[in-house]
Structure 1
Amino acid sequence: MEKSASKYFTLEKKYRNHFLSKTNISETDSLFVYDYAKNKLASFAIKNLKAAAWINGYSSEEDWPYRRYDYMIGFEISKQNLNGFGDYYSNVIVYAGKENPFAKGPLKPIVWKKIARKEYPSKPMKAEDITALKNTIPGNTYSYTTESHQYFLQDYLDSHKIIYTRRLLIADSKTKEIIIDKVYTQSEGTSPAPLNGENGDESFDQYTGKLFKNKPEVVFGFQYESFGCPAISIIDKSNEDIYLQCDNRH
């Protein structure tokens, strides 16, 4: 295959079948594409979609002939079939399977309100979280309330007064019982995401609400991942995190 043609091409049947087999996707499945910020859902029959290989953004013509690792492989969807979706599809989740898992809530961006530190619930920290907060000092404290839950967020600053860690508590709005207790810490591969509105009125990272039909409400968007993939946290005592499958190569 010539250099120009090898940048993007449709998979032949043999390689399409191999791709489907390795990803546990069937020709009888559908692809559900959901923009949770716009509350837009599109679905496509897998059998009607082309499977294609595309050179990833970190490769260039100087890398030719390309290795298999240099490619991203997926399904080809025309932009015209995603009308109403966000421009860069940054708030889109995709699922391949028999039935649509998305509840079409829609999710809501969290609108944080600064509160006094004394309003933050008193709950003992886990030992590993105490270790993570060593040499930090408390910063701003925030809250957000919905009909079902109360959200509390505490910043912790390093010696340079930069946010190093955030602790999230989520309580049942009626019983006040703490359901979620999570700590998001700066590391080589992670960093705290800006709070909604910090980078402009339309800049949102934290969302909450009913995302999946057969699961409780969710919350996510507190941490950027440099190497891994982000997680969606289920708001119940299971403390389940659903990790997305992503291509986060560098």
Structure 2
Amino acid sequence: MKKLISIILYFVLIVVTNVVKAQSLSIYNIYSFEKNKNDKIGFISLTDVYPWSQSADSLVIADQHLGGSKTKNDNYHQLSPKHRKQFLHRMKIEETDRIFIYNLSSNTLLTRKVKSTTVAAHLSVYADNTEISEYDYMIGFEIPEISLKNFGDYFFNTLVYVGKQNPFITGRIKQILWKKTEKTSFLPNKAMITFNQGALYESIINGLHYYAQDITKTDQTYARHLMIYDPKKNTILFDKTYTEDESAYLNPLNIGKKTNYTHAYQWTGTLFRNKPATIFGFLGHSFGCPHIEFISKSEPSIRLKCDNRH
């Protein structure tokens, strides 16, 4: 009996562990960086979640790159083998892991081995000119630009995951193409009751009706109300108002016929394995990072780890 209980507990532990891992999905972005003149790369910054401390195993920037004024040589450098090992260990990334880079616009998935990818550091544009510290550096993976030739300018609409298994489902995410509609508008969020209802847009994808309505005040759009409706079940699946503030702004809607939108904003569909359908791209951020939301009341959103230091 004790042996049976032990076996059951063992399998419960495995299930719980897998659930925790599934819920802690870390998704990064990648951006174009010019490390030298006419030498551009894709850079995946990991320091958004790096556990900085003053302990010896946390410090991964060599002394010659600290303390002085900004110089050309300080702006970009490859981590030494010792510091690379420390950095990856603190990030819980193994050399046997892989880097999965998925571009939504071209539906292209690139896979690279961690062990064959350079870990580098470059100064944030907000670094102090006179006293450079560890925290002034953005540290991450260097991806050769030639590997990203199908990923568009500046690698817009590209998501990254680092781990043992690919979490992305390719080919099932779609741009939301909006058309202005004259249908009866729906009531805005109660918190927006002092605003006026503006233009209403509709998109029908896989039988679901997506509605986006501008919320205006003094002829300016301050917010946008999104609703997803399932006519078969007569159910509202998603209902949220996105509001501009000092840290966030409304992205333009994708309006028009379908083209090769390398800079399309709104997306929906199944993106991750064992996860509900997603909806995202309504807010841009001056401060902080965007979220990938799920069309599910029980699944929390995923904050994109973009290392925005503005």
Q: TM-score range by the shorter chain?
A: 0.7 to 0.9
Instruction: Write the mapping of 1:97-116 to structure 2, written as runs, cut at 5 A.
Output: 97-116=163-182
Letter in 2 for 1:43: T
Identity of aligned residues (%): 39
- What is the number of equivalent residue pairs in this alignment? 238
Deviation, 1:7, is: 1.4
> CA 1:151 to 1:64, structure 2 compared with 1: closer, same or farther past 3 Å?
same
Match status 1:189 vs 2:247? yes
Match status 1:71 vs 2:131? no
Partner residue of 1:22 out of 90, 98, 116: 90
Root-mean-square deviation (CA), in Å?
2.1
Give 1:11's aligned residue: 79
Partner residue of 1:152 out of 211, 235, 238: 211
Deviation, 1:236, is: 2.1
Give 1:220's aligned residue: 280
Stretch of structure 1 that moved more, 203-212 or 90-99: 203-212
2: CA distance, partners of 1:45 / 1:216: 28
User: 1:136-165 CA deviation, whole Å, 9 max, x = no partner?
Assistant: 11001111001242111111101x211111
Contact residue 197 and residue 204 of structure 1 kept, 8 A: no
> CA 1:239 to 1:144, structure 2 compared with 1: closer, same or farther past 3 Å?
farther
2: CA distance, partners of 1:112 / 1:79: 33
TM-score by length of 1: 0.87
Contact residue 179 and residue 235 of structure 1 kept, 8 A: yes
User: 1:206-248 CA deviation, whole Å, 9 max, x = no partner?
Assistant: 1112211221221111111221110111112325311111121
Give 1:242's aligned residue: 302
Unaligned regions of 5+ residues in structure 2, if any? Answer: 1-63, 66-70
Secondary structure of the 2:115 match is helix
Secondary structure of the 1:20 match is helix
Secondary structure of the 1:142 match is strand
> CA 1:121 to 1:147, structure 2 compared with 1: closer, same or farther past 3 Å?
farther
Higher radius of gyration, 1 or 2: 2
Stretch of structure 1 that moved more, 147-156 or 62-71: 62-71
Give 1:169's aligned residue: 227
Higher relative contact order (CA 8 A, sep 6+): 2
Letter in 2 for 1:83: K
Give 1:233's aligned residue: 293
Partner residue of 1:204 out of 257, 260, 264: 264
Unaligned regions of 5+ residues in structure 1, if any? Answer: none
2: CA distance, partners of 1:197 / 1:142: 9
